[in-house]
Amino acid sequence: MLEETLFTIDMPYRQSMAVKAYSFGVDSQGRVLGGDDPADPADFEKAACFVGSMRGNEVQQTFICARLVRKLRSIEQNGGLVPGKRIMIVPCVNPASINTGMRFWVGDNTDVNRMMPGYDQGETTQRIADALFSAVKGYTYGVHFSSFHLDGDFLDHIRVMTGVGIQSNNGADFGQAYVLRHVPGSSDTTTLHYNLRLWDTEAYTFYTRRTSIIDQDLAKAAARGCLRFLHERGVICYPSHAGYRSTLLNERQLIPTQSPCGGVFLRKVQLGDIVSRGQIIAEVADPLTGETRAEICAPRGGVVFYVCRSPLVNEQTLVFQIVPRDVRIGADDTARGNFLDPEA
């Protein structure tokens, strides 16, 4: 394993922020990156890159990358790396915000994942984005562990963008239950996923339902999915169970359900439950008297994909998203999905 510091930023009131990367690879002579007799990084194909947290509350995303580092060290020691392929992992891009408990950059509250591909003479987050993107561009596969924009629980899934840039058609190789296709809008053009595609990287975003807390079981499942993907793409030799047979759908096919009024949100179904049309899936109660103000019914039958976590909701709050039973992908894939836009 090769450990390196991608870049360092001096902080005014605390120690410098160092962003580290961990690379794995073995050459045809059996020499590994970072070993006692190290292999030359220039001799390797840039095969796959994984990027963890860019925001200060994405603790789970950093932890998933840490598990990947641990597993790949074991695979490296057991001879499971395919010669000539380099894998790089960047667990945390924004440790300063994690240390201070802020979601965005500590200086001006801007989002690093809205500054791609960056500018080396710009604002701090633009410089961070430039340094990161300079390190990760050029890889064949790129995976970003990102946090969800909605305050709720959702099923783990892979997101792929459509449109310009290189196409990402292997999302099912992660073995997750759902692969969502997203037509990018203007806010997506400065994300890591979008720009990796423009620079000829097959890009994926991996969403797991935890962000600010550690869920070891979900982290293990996410790491297994990434190892499964690397094996299927011929980057490592690590046979594993196939996981889920992924369902591919466009984001606009998710059925939204909104609250008809404000009050206390009392859900009656759980994430992943199968519901039928007209089934009562939640109630909205008066916060002072407890009387039921409204019953929320499922508009379609299907699987509960997203559930609002907030105990109090306003009128027209998005409280559920349902994967319909009859998911079909047609030739027309140009309509933009409105309910999964990041940071909407």
Q: Which two tokens stand for residue 87?
A: 């894998």
d(CA 20, CA 57): 18
Collapsing DSSP states into helix, strand and coil, what is residue 48?
Answer: strand
Q: Kindly tell me if the per-residue pLDDT of 14 is higher than 90.
A: no
pLDDT tens figures, 63-109: 999 999 999 999 999 999 999 999 999 999 999 999 988 999 988 99
Greatest pairwise CA separation for the chain in angstroms: 74
Query: pLDDT at residue 20 above 60?
Result: yes
Return the number of other C-beta atoms located less than 10 Å from residue 276's C-beta: 12
- pLDDT higher at 325 or 112: 112
Q: What is the band of 330 on the pLDDT scale with cuts at 50, 70, 90?
A: low
Whether the pLDDT of residue 31 is over 50: the answer is yes
Quick one: average pLDDT of 191-207? Answer: 96
Contact predicate 149/318, CB 8 Å = no
Contact 261, 143 (CB under 8 A): no
Please report which confidence band the pLDDT of residue 341 belongs to, taking 50, 70 and 90 as the band edges: very low
Q: What is the mean pLDDT of the chain?
A: 91
CA distance 315 to 244: 36
In the chain, what percentage of residues exceed pLDDT 90? 82
Alpha carbon distance 18, 9 (integer Å): 7
Categorize the per-residue pLDDT at 304 as very low, low, confident or very high, splitting at 50, 70 and 90. very high
Nearest to 218 by CA among 60, 97, 328: 60
Query: Shortest CA distance to 316 belongs to which of 268, 277, 260?
Result: 260
pLDDT confidence band for 26 (50 / 70 / 90): very high
What pLDDT is attached to residue 165? 81
pLDDT in tens, 305-329: 999 999 999 999 999 999 998 776 5
DSSP per position, 290-326:
--EEEEEE-SS-EEEEEEE--SEE-TT-EEEEEEESS
Spatial distance between the Cα atoms of 228 and 204, rounded to a whole number of angstroms: 14
pLDDT higher than threshold 90 for residue 125: yes
pLDDT at res. 220? 95
Which pLDDT value is given to residue 15?
A: 82
Task: Please name each of the domains of the chain with its CATH number.
Answer: 2-249 (3.40.630.10), 254-324 (2.40.50.100)
More confident residue, 292 or 336: 292
What is the per-residue pLDDT for 127?
Answer: 95
Q: Are 304 and 275 in contact (CB under 8 A)?
A: yes
Task: Please state the rounded mean pLDDT for residues 289-293.
Answer: 96
